[in-house]
Structure 1
Amino acid sequence: MSKRGKMRALLAGGLVLGVGAAVVLAAWNDSEFATGTFTAGTFNIQGSTDGASYTDHPASPGATLPFTLNPTNLAPGDTVYAPFAVRLAANTTTGSTVTVNTATATGSVANLSYELVQPTSFGCSSSTTGTELVQAGTALNGALSGVTFTLSPGSPASDPGDAVFLCFKVTAAAGLVQGQNGTATWQFAAASTS
């Protein structure tokens, strides 16, 4: 056999060996894949003035509190009462800490003070008791600090969370001026706890 023939034979043998090695190597390779899907939760607080129907009030002035006595005809010594409730909406996926911020006042709210109570059921009157969130006698536009409560999401998540009931008691002091007129707006700032 000539040199050239030997070379061809060697190359052909190498080619067969190379193909066989490639087949063997391919049989000894494997892969695993892992995929992560990331979806943000949802978060929404709602309010109610009747304890039954809840809706969003995301901007000032928000819901109009239904005071049980006429707050437009106050005299010194009068106290008016208004219930409110808040909850986390259905499909909210985390709990919340709610901060009661200082009321924003327009007009004159001098000689008006209030108390904010957290009763165990919806409603508000002179006999309503519960956890005192804002101490009686606090000026209507008085600074608040550290006034919070918590809200839990619904279980299952497709249900709304349990409501927290609130009772506003606003009292006119002896120095109330005839014809004075003012408005107070409270913000309930909810922050997710996770």
Structure 2
Amino acid sequence: MVTKATQRKIGAVLAGGLVLGIGTAATLAAWNDSEFANGTFTAGAFNLEGSTDGTTYANHSTAGTAATLAFTLPAGLVSNMSPSSTVYAGFWVRLAAGTTSAANLTASGATADPAATSNSDHLSYAIYQLDPGATCNAASATGTPVASGATLDALTGATAIPLTAGATATDPGTAVQLCFRVTADAALEPSLVTDATWSFTATSTN
């Protein structure tokens, strides 16, 4: 026989059970959600190329693949240099099609044959940036100084040249003509052949 007291106890237990049940239901009903963010990073393209005639461009990225400048005397060939004579050569540079950033171009190095077996110490040079359409010769070899050297293996006064990227992915940037002027001193030794190499570095500005 269930007494009233017993009923109250059962009711208390059930009430307690209901309280526990409500607490458990609240825990299970908690909401949670997540957000994820993803980014894709694609590097832009960057390529500098040069030309000895302003028409045909290629990469000359190492000393072994350096472009051969076509130096000429005002009246004759570079192989006929004599004391105090000066020779000139043009070289065009531009950012290749597909390049996505403008750049600054700077002369970064000059090397030459050893002075003991060449005329590298008897030849000085200056490099200029010419105005569009100008010709690299004795008459118009003036412009913005880019670099110079009292000898062929020296490099002083390097000045950055701005280069623009092409308007579209299929357009190259605007070409800039550099004019190399090499001058022999009065002590130039006859019959010696001297090789010199100049390097340029383009650094993106974007």
Compute the TM-score of the two structures, normalised by the length of structure 1: 0.79
Secondary structure, aligned partner of 1:176: coil
2:187 counterpart residue number: 175
Confirm or deny: 8 A CA contact 1:101 1:144 kept in the other structure. Answer: no
Q: 1:84 aligns with which of 91, 111, 117?
A: 91
How far did residue 131 of structure 1 move? 1.0
Amino acid at match of 1:119: L
Amino acid at match of 2:139: S
After superposition, the Cα gap between the structure-2 partners of 1:31 and 1:134, relative to the gap in structure 1 and judged at 3 Å, is: closer
Amino acid at match of 2:176: V
Q: C-alpha separation between the residues in 1 aligned to 2:89 and 2:158?
A: 22
Amino acid at match of 1:106: D
1:65 counterpart residue number: 69
Q: C-alpha separation between the residues in 2 aligned to 1:146 and 1:78?
A: 24
Q: 1:131 aligns with which of 120, 139, 144?
A: 144
Q: C-alpha separation between the residues in 1 aligned to 2:170 and 2:33?
A: 42
After superposition, the Cα gap between the structure-2 partners of 1:117 and 1:146, relative to the gap in structure 1 and judged at 3 Å, is: closer
Structure having the higher Rg: 2
Amino acid at match of 1:168: F
How far did residue 147 of structure 1 move? 2.9
How many residues were matched structurally?
190
1:119 counterpart residue number: 130
How far did residue 30 of structure 1 move? 6.5
Amino acid at match of 1:112: L
Confirm or deny: 8 A CA contact 1:96 1:193 kept in the other structure. Answer: yes
Percent of aligned positions that are identical: 46
Q: Are 1:140 and 2:160 an aligned pair?
A: no
Aligned-residue RMSD, C-alpha? 3.0
2:18 counterpart residue number: none
Q: After superposition, what is the alpha-carbon deviation per residue over 1:95-143, rounded to whole angstroms, capped at 9, x for unaligned?
A: 21222023110142121111211111353100122112235x7322223
Q: 2:46 aligns with which of 43, 47, 63?
A: 43
Gaps of 5+ in 2: 1-23
Compute the TM-score of the two structures, normalised by the length of structure 2: 0.74
Secondary structure, aligned partner of 2:150: strand
1:103 counterpart residue number: 110
Q: C-alpha separation between the residues in 2 aligned to 1:191 and 1:92?
A: 12
Q: After superposition, what is the alpha-carbon deviation per residue over 1:58-80, rounded to whole angstroms, capped at 9, x for unaligned?
A: 11140000112322221112111
Amino acid at match of 1:80: V
Q: C-alpha separation between the residues in 2 aligned to 1:142 and 1:34?
A: 53
Gaps of 5+ in 1: 1-17
How far did residue 51 of structure 1 move? 0.5
Amino acid at match of 2:203: A
Confirm or deny: 8 A CA contact 1:92 1:153 kept in the other structure. Answer: yes
Q: After superposition, what is the alpha-carbon deviation per residue over 1:146-170, rounded to whole angstroms, capped at 9, x for unaligned?
A: 4321212111233111111100111
